[in-house]
Amino acid sequence: MTTRHDHWIDGRPEPPASGTWLATLDPATGLPGDGTAAGGAADVGHAVAAAERARLGWAARSPAERGAILHRVADAIDADAGTLMRLERECTGKVPAQLRLETDMSAAYFRYYAGVVRAAGHGTVIEQGAGVHTYTRYEPYGVVGVITPWNLPLNQACRALAPALAMGNAVVAKPSEFTSLSTVHLARLATRAGLPDGVLNVVTGTGPDAGEALAAHPGVRRLAFTGSVATGRYLAGVAGGRLVPLTLELGGKSPLVVFADADLDRAVAVAVTAVAANSGQVCSATARLLVEEPVHDEVVDRVVTAVEKLRPGVDFGPLITEAQYHRVLDFLADAPVPPATGGGPYPRGPEARGLYIRPTVYARVDPHARIAREEVFGPVLVTLPFRDEAEALALANDTDYGLVAAVWSGDLARGLRLAERIEAGQVAVNGGPLTIETPFGGYRHSGYGREKGLAALYEYAQLKTVSASLG
């Protein structure tokens, strides 16, 4: 363990009450990385107390004042992007282009919410006739707990932190124990940029030790969780018992539907991205490729050819943890058909020392097979042929999940018909852009509540009505 990283509480580093640090691993090399403070209930208690002390002062600032500080946080992310990307790379092995994308997007979340809170963070006047003044106002919850996963660590933290802070909440964040360093550094940068002490605190540690303590703490008035369905289900129970609202951003097994009349060049490129981007460890990866029968084999051949050109360590990174690496290999061992390409780890070279898995495609998979239904969260694509629009829709919706979907067709009306009937929180037709402005979240087991867009701003505030009789 080279460097030990403490929590960030009340504007300064705080060592763990346990006196222990968790080891991290560089998955690109298999070498040990820095230590992360092993937090627990005592550390969470300090962080919530600091947030509690800070919250009223922060909430009392005008949206313009809060926005100005959040703009400076965005500038600080840009200015120290090199450090953030290094910390992220050391515990994820992500490739440079992916690191750049995620870090730029992290700053962009702060810029977006710094701006929109000024334009949209206010309530309305309700006309009730003469002699009455009635209006609504958005008020923060107070202390918000944000629990995030390991796949896009800084990015997913900022996705929740920026709107929560913009609306005047104080936050205690608990990043994944495998990838905490960038979120702790973000809090340091935010303090330096002028965010008052205690407004953003980061407690690191495992889910059972730090995460459960945060979710259960009576001072936490709202929760936001991004992660697995199993943990989401558990936290829904905790939040239900405590009667606090919760956003759940969970997994997906999203369909990419390609009709024979589609622009196949672009559709194939999107299918390759589903495998390559972050090695498929993306909740919104469109990992089920549904292709109209007449072009199915041609599309598969083109995807396989493109996927075989991807270079480990250049175009895609390793699996982020050893547990995830073995989980993906278990899926591959269980596949009902031989792979069209890939199907295992690299046998030699530096990739063999890191947690790299070859980009993998399984063609014409039985829709009931485990690999066609469960989220693999690795560089794995399954393809399923369909005969017509009705079968495409049935296959697209034949899942427990409902996070995103993509439809490609030369017939835009057909694309939009499917978009209305696919049960998912986001549908992109012919590559329609999905950005910070577009609300994101799940149907069914993919969760509830929305991140991104204006919708997320209102997730982090409670609406109050004030009515005064003037007579």
Catalytic residue annotation:
174, 249, 283, 375
The whole-angstrom separation of Cα 99 and Cα 428 is: 24
CB of 448 to ligand NAD, least distance (A): 11
Whichever of 286 and 341 has its CB closer to ligand NAD, that residue is 286
Q: How far is the CB of 442 from ligand NAD (least distance, A)?
A: 6
The answer to whether 325 contacts ligand NAD (rule: CB under 6 A) is no
| Smallest separation, CB 49 to ligand NAD (Å) | 20
Residue 76 tokens, joined: 């600080």
Contact residue for ligand NAD among 21, 110, 150, 259 (CB under 6 A): 150
247 binds ligand NAD (CB under 6 A): no
Among 36, 92, 204, 226, binds ligand NAD (CB under 6 A): 226
Stretch that binds ligand NAD, among 189-197, 231-239, 301-309, 387-395 (CB under 6 A): 231-239
CA 13 → CA 85, 306, 381, distances in Å?
20, 46, 43
Q: Residue 143: beta bridge partners? A: 170
Binding of ligand NAD at residue 27 (CB under 6 A)? no
234: contact with ligand NAD by CB under 6 A: yes
User: Does 459 contact ligand NAD by CB under 6 A?
Assistant: no
In whole angstroms, what is the distance from residue 61 CA to residue 277 CA?
40
Contact status: 174 vs ligand NAD (CB under 6 A): yes
Q: Looking at beta carbons only, is 63 or 425 nearer to ligand NAD? A: 425
Identify the residue among 50, 215, 264, 392 touching ligand NAD (CB under 6 A).
Answer: 215
Q: How many whole angstroms separate alpha carbon 295 and alpha carbon 263?
A: 12
Residue of 26, 43, 88, 375 that binds ligand NAD (CB under 6 A): 375
16 binds ligand NAD (CB under 6 A): no
Q: Which is nearer to ligand NAD, 96 or 208 (CB)?
A: 208
Separation of alpha carbons 336 and 362, rounded Å? 9
The stretch near ligand NAD (CB under 6 A) out of 191-199, 223-231, 303-311, 343-351 is 223-231
Member of 44, 54, 283, 307 binding ligand NAD (CB under 6 A): 283
**Per CB under 6 A, 109 contacts ligand NAD:** no
Q: Is the dihedral of CA 314, 316, 320, 321 positive or negative?
A: negative
Rounded CA separation 356/173 (Å):
30
Q: Does 410 bind ligand NAD (CB under 6 A)?
A: no
DSSP state letters, 47-87: HHHHHHHHHHHHHHS-HHHHHHHHHHHHHHHHHTHHHHHHH
Residue 395 binds to ligand NAD (criterion: CB under 6 A):
no
Q: In whole angstroms, give the CA distance from residue 168 to residue 118.
A: 12
Which amino acid type is present at position 69? Answer: I
> 252: alpha, beta or left, given left = phi > 0 and alpha = psi -120 to 50?
beta
CA pair distance 431, 427, nearest whole angstrom? 9
7 near ligand NAD, rule: CB under 6 A:
no
* CA–CA distance, 229 with 249 (Å, rounded to integer): 9
Binds ligand NAD by CB under 6 A, chosen from 90, 177, 292, 459: 177
120-149: contacts with ligand NAD (CB under 6 A) = 147-149
The nearest distance, CB 243 to ligand NAD, in angstroms, is 18
Minimum gap (Å) between residue 246 Cβ and ligand NAD: 11
CB of 406 to ligand NAD, least distance (A): 16
Number of CB atoms found within 10 A of residue 62's CB: 12
Looking at 190-326, which runs of residues are DSSP E strands? 200-202, 222-226, 246-249, 255-258, 288-292
Minimum distance from CB of 39 to ligand NAD (Å)?
A: 10
Torsion angle of alpha carbons 357, 363, 364, 368, nearest 10°?
Answer: 10
Residue 250 in the binding site for ligand NAD (CB under 6 A): yes
CB within 8 Å of 5: residues ≥ 6 apart: 21, 34, 35, 36, 37, 180, 181, 184, 204
Please identify, using beta-carbon distances, which residue of 249 and 292 lies nearer to ligand NAD: 249
**How many residues of this chain interact with ligand NAD, rule: CB under 6 A?**
29
Q: Which stretch binds ligand NAD (CB under 6 A): 42-50, 120-128, 211-219, 325-333?
A: 211-219
The yes or no reply on residue 249 touching ligand NAD (CB under 6 A) is yes
* Residue 231 binding ligand NAD, by CB under 6 A: yes
Across 200-265, where does the E strand assignment appear?
200-202, 222-226, 246-249, 255-258
Q: Provide DSSP, 135-179.
A: EEEEEE-SEEEEE--SSSHHHHHHHHHHHHHHTT-EEEEE--TTS
Taking the complex as a whole, the smallest distance from the CB of residue 58 to ligand NAD amounts, in Å, to 24
* Contact yes or no for 424/254 (Cβ under 8 A): yes
Q: Given the rule CB under 6 A, which of 39-47, 89-97, 246-254, 291-299 is the region that contacts ligand NAD?
A: 246-254
The one-letter code for the residue type at 66 is R
Residues of the shown chain interacting with ligand NAD in the complex, contacts defined by CB under 6 A: 147-151, 156, 174-177, 206-208, 211-212, 215, 226-228, 231, 234-235, 249-251, 283, 375, 377, 403
